[in-house]
Chains A and B, each alone.
Chain A
Amino acid sequence: MDAVVAPGSIDGVQAGPEGSSAEPLEFRDATKRYPGSPTPAVDGLTLEVAAGEICVLVGPSGCGKTTAMRMVNRMIDITSGDILLGGRSVKDRKPAELRRHIGYVIQQIGLFPHRTIADNVATVPKLLGWDKRRIVERVDELLELVGLDPHEMRDRYPSQLSGGQRQRVGVARALAVDPPVMLMDEPFGAIDPINRERLQNEFLRLQAELRKTIIFVTHDIDEAIKMGDRIAIMQTGGRLAQYAPPAELLMAPANEFVEDFVGADRALKRLALQRVRDIDLWTVATCRVGEPVAEVRVRLEDADLDFPLLVDEQHRPIGWLSERALTGERVREELRSRADPIVELDDILRDALSDLLARDSMYGPVVDADGRTVGVLSIQVISHAVGGRGAAEVASAPDRAP
């Protein structure tokens, strides 16, 4: 049926400088209909994935997300419509040849139990007829890339590895010929929560370096939000409900289904997506001990907050001044309270909010990487940023100032 690629074939010769640069991927009204089934498995899916981006397909079981993914490498053939990879229709390419240039990772990983780790990783390079030395070097390089010791792992069999190690080998195997596109079907689904978190982070770090175009399938909205540059939420009947970056999805769900699917806590989820530097902070009047009070009062006029923040010579926050500190001519060091909690610009909003709540505080000074005060983060600011009612109510609660 399919041509067997022998060493030295066209594929083998081209194997030289291939790969690395990611390619864009486009679904054009892609539809999969199974004979005898009243509804299509995938119904007119249209979406574009930019080169180097992670597109997460997410939805309840039976929504067609895996089917959609498997249409890309023709594990499932499209009934109508098209899928373009780097501008070329996948229908114009031989399935086996197409698949060798698309990384493929599945939930159960599917390592070959009868082959060593090195042989598993070398699967596609061997199909493409790479020479032995190049394969050996590449295998070691890949194992190191995914955080495994080549000397220790090379000659082991999959049954001798832990779940997390197998998953890493699966990723290494998929990356073997540096394919421009990767398909990942619940790759972390079978891993325990603690290791899953670690593998997700590792993978995101890897992706920041490799910049592959990735189709990532999951049923877990939290994983989708974490992993995706863009998320395609699919609903039963194989229809695309919404395709948007995570923040937009959480802020403006396109319909009730999406709203339900992202969950009642979608405002809280948005907190995890934004950093303090992404939102408009309150301005604050800063002052030093010994400054003329009149100047401070002028500054207070323009500030969002009614009381000044005492800072040191390096502009680092010391604490909030009391009214009495401003009664004389010069600013005295009379504090209402310390400046806790101090928030950093790079903090995730969720963590910053957690700090505020933990200290029973409505606001805290924000500092840059050098510790210099740049503004104030308040619960009201956060509430405004995530645009959720629930958060607004918290902010309008009686001011229990620090």
Chain B
Amino acid sequence: MSLPLAIIAQGGGFVRSRAGETGCPGNDGICLNWILDHLDRYQTPFIEHVYISVVPVAIGFAIALSLGLLAHRLRWLITPLTGLTSALYTVPSIAAFLLLLPVTGRGNDTAIVALTAYTLVIIFRNVITGLAGVPKDSIDAARGMGLTSRQLLFGVELPLALPEILAGLRIAAATTVGLAAFAYLAGAGGLGRNIDSNITFKGNVLVCGVLLTLLAAALDLTVLTFQRFVTPWRRAASS
């Protein structure tokens, strides 16, 4: 893998100059002092990584939710849309980045298009499952009391499907943070480039890994906090 990747990535070598290093960095070890001295080198890639993770998740959420609501109304759409989004998901990420190059060119756009495509199936499925899981008797009562289809959707179905939908969003966010580490193959930024540039240097890989994990956890926590805030009845149920 490393040969073609090196060609595409073109980058590398900017985390440290290997020439003349001695001691811990020279031995590719985990070097606390070096890490503390060089943290600033990870700042820009980290911000780029946030960008190429959050933007696809946001766009993907908007698209998948719209498709989910459409398929909820036009139920025959569920099967083809599930098939389509699943098919997108099965394209290997590296292949997707390469395939998109002629269309969108090198850069963040390619990464964002590909990563967005990957979020669709996760979120779409959860929207469909969430809406299908709304208690039938609540829907029947709502219709029986004279709620219109729209009032039913926004007043009853969506709020009750929200925990499931947000669960999908959380999985999508975590997945995207990880997949975005390959985005450098499409010429995008992000921590993936740092990893690739010095993959044998354990200290480097560790810093990138920790940052990726923190990012994924932070996004997860954000959605979770939002969810707790907008679904107070779930806490009431468990108390």
Contacts and interface: CB of A to CB of B under 8 A. Distances in A.
Interface of A: 1-4, 73, 75, 95-100, 104, 106-115, 123-124, 127, 156-157, 159-160, 170, 173-174, 183
B209 interface: no
Main secondary structure of the interface of B (DSSP, over half): helix
A159 B151 contact: no
Contacts of A123: 142, 145, 147
Given A75-B143, A160-B237, 16 more contacts: A2-B150, A4-B150, A4-B151, A96-B147, A106-B144, A110-B137, A110-B141, A112-B141, A112-B142, A114-B156, A114-B160, A157-B232, A160-B239, A170-B141, A173-B145, A174-B145
Contact of A96 (B148, B156, B237): B148
A354 to B, nearest CB: 40
B149 to A, nearest CB: 5
B236 interface: yes
Contact of B144 (A1, A104, A107, A113): A104
A114 B151 contact: no
Interface of B: 135, 137-151, 156, 159-160, 231-233, 236-237, 239
9 contacts: A75-B144, A96-B148, A99-B146, A108-B135, A113-B135, A113-B138, A123-B147, A157-B237, A174-B145
Contacts, number: 88
Given A114-B159, A114-B233, A99 B138 contact: no
A130 to B, nearest CB: 14
A106 B140 contact: yes
Contacts of A108: 135, 137
Given A73-B144, A99-B143, A111-B141, A156 B149 contact: no
A174 B239 CA distance: 28
A212 B160 CA distance: 33
B236 A156 contact: yes
B192 to A, nearest CB: 40
B141 A2 contact: no
Contact of B145 (A4, A127, A156): A127
Given A1-B148, A3-B148, A4-B148, A113 B237 contact: yes
A112 B138 contact: yes
A99 to B, nearest CB: 4
A87 to B, nearest CB: 21
Contacts of A97: 146
Nearest to A128: B146
Contacts of B139: 110
Q: 9 smallest A-B Cβ distances: which pairs?
A: A110-B141, A99-B146, A104-B144, A100-B146, A108-B137, A110-B137, A2-B148, A159-B237, A157-B236
Contact of A110 (B135, B146, B159): B135
A109 B151 contact: no
B95 to A, nearest CB: 42
Contacts of B148: 1-4, 96
Given A96-B146, A96-B147, A124-B145, A114 B231 contact: yes
Contact of A106 (B137, B150, B237): B137
A73 B145 CA distance: 9
B135, B144, B148, most chain A CB atoms within 10 A: B144
B233 A159 contact: yes
Given A4-B151, A96-B146, A110 B233 contact: no
A124 B151 CA distance: 12
Contacts of B140: 75, 106, 110
Nearest to B151: A4
A28 to B, nearest CB: 22
A100 B140 CA distance: 14
Nearest to A107: B137
Contacts of B144: 73, 75, 99, 104, 106, 110, 183
A170 B141 CA distance: 9
B146 to A, nearest CB: 4
Given A112-B156, A127-B151, A159-B237, A99 B231 contact: no
B30 to A, nearest CB: 48
